[in-house]
Structure 1
Amino acid sequence: MSHTAEWKVRLYLFEEERMTKARVVLDTGTTSLTGHGTAHCSPGDTDVPEIGDELAAGRALHDLARQLVDTAERDIGAVDASTGGRESASAIAWPM
């Protein structure tokens, strides 16, 4: 079974008063998921905006990844339920 898809990801970064916020939006064409992340610069630390961007973006992507895995696990459960549990685990499980 051959399958090709293109998903679009947009990453937005906002910085204000030593705090960076990130929002990442995944658009699969049929659904959309949004991840969020923040980074705070401690008062004693040197303010390096790039580091805040990296941390906030990484945290937003991590949040998005968790949501995507959760969605896949629910979908696997739905497939298993619709087949009455007849599918073997290897038929619907994906390796890490």
Structure 2
Amino acid sequence: MPHTLEWTVRLQLFEDDAGTTKAHLILDTGTTELTGHGTAHCHPADSNVPEIGDELAAGRAMNDLARQLLKTVERDIEGMGAPRSHGREAAGWPM
């Protein structure tokens, strides 16, 4: 059955004076809210390029959120009676 949904994603980036960038990513599906976190540290010997820290922290937050979303879907599929996948793609749902 076709359907259309819109999920909202909010990304906040924070950089401190020590060269640490933190990313806070929120996915709101309308029924569930997941939060991903990521951090990037600028090595003292490296040039401080804020865009690189932003990208790295955001990418890590997205990876964190993606892992959480995949765990959620795995639990949801198991809740429908499917056997646990034990590291495989979510119960036969190929990527």
Could you tell me the TM-score, scaled by structure 1's length? 0.86
Aligned length: 87
After superposing on structure 2, the runs of 4+ consecutive aligned residues of structure 1 that deviate more than 3 Å are none
Could you tell me the TM-score, scaled by structure 2's length? 0.87
* Equivalent residue number for residue 14 of structure 2: 14
Q: CA deviation at 1:9?
A: 0.1
Structure label with greater radius of gyration: 1
- Gaps of at least 5 residues in structure 1 are 86-91
- Gaps of at least 5 residues in structure 2 are 84-90
User: Counterpart of 2:81 in 1: which secondary structure?
Assistant: helix
Q: Higher helix share goes to which structure? A: 1
* Equivalent residue number for residue 88 of structure 1: none
Q: Distance in 2 between matches of 1:12 and 1:41?
A: 18
Query: What are the superposed Cα offsets for residues 34-71 of structure 1, whole Å, 9 maximum, x if unpaired?
Result: 00000000010000000000000000000000000000
* Equivalent residue number for residue 54 of structure 2: 53
Counterpart mapping for 1:34-49 below 5 A = 34-49=35-50
Q: Output the amino acid matched with 2:72.
A: T
Q: What percentage of residue pairs aligned between the two structures are identical?
A: 68
* Equivalent residue number for residue 92 of structure 2: 93
Q: CA deviation at 1:93?
A: 3.2
